């Protein structure tokens, strides 16, 4: 079945550590997105990518980095510069520009 796979489901970060969240899709979608979800704040866009080897900052990109070396993969790195990383992270993809987003099942990141 086609879909978006996020891993791990739960992730813990130590002080000063970089961690990488995985996002893989087999839907053949060009566009991919990373959202952060905090309680009471809805979803906020971190980064997005329209095509391979290209990506753009969203509304809250500081402290995060991404890469898009393959169409299927869009990993997100939470760097030590992100001082409040505890949140639920959702990856999404889209085929057409005005179609719905398909979401992964998310990664809960917590700080030790």
Partner 1 sequence: AQTVTQSQPEMSVQEAETVTLSCTYDTSENNYYLFWYKQPPSRQMILVIRQEAYKQQNATENRFSVNFQKAAKSFSLKISDSQLGDTAMYFCAFMRGYGGATNKLIFGTGTLLAVQP
CB of 86 to partner 1, least distance (A): 15
- The dihedral built from the CA positions of residue 41, 22, 55 and 27, taken in this order, carries a sign that is negative
Position among 27, 45, 52, 61 found at the interface with partner 1 (CB under 8 A): 45
CB of 111 to partner 1, least distance (A): 19
Show contacts with partner 1 in window 60-89 (CB under 8 A).
88
Q: Which is nearer to partner 1, 18 or 50 (CB)?
A: 50
Least Cα distance to 75 among 29, 30, 34, 31 occurs for 34
Q: Which is nearer to partner 1, 19 or 46 (CB)?
A: 46
Q: Is 30 in the site for partner 1 (CB under 8 A)?
A: yes
> Rounded to whole angstroms, how far apart are CA atoms 52 and 41?
30
Q: Is 42 in the site for partner 1 (CB under 8 A)?
A: yes
CB of 16 to partner 1, least distance (A): 28
3-state DSSP of 69-99:
CECCECCEEECCCCCCCCEEEEEEEECCCCC
């Amino acid at each position: 079945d086609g879909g978006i796979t996020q891993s791990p489901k739960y992730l813990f970060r130590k002080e000063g550590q970089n961690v990488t969240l995985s996002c893989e899709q087999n839907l053949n979608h060009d566009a991919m997105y990373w959202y952060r979800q905090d309680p009471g704040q809805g979803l906020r866009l971190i980064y997005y990518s329209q095509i391979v080897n290209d990506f753009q900052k969203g509304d809250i990109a500081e402290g995060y980095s991404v890469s898009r070396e393959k169409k299927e993969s869009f990993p997100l790195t939470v760097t030590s510069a992100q001082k409040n990383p505890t949140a639920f992270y959702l990856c999404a993809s889209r085929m057409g520009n005005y179609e719905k987003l398909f979401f992964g099942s998310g990664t809960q990141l917590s700080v030790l």
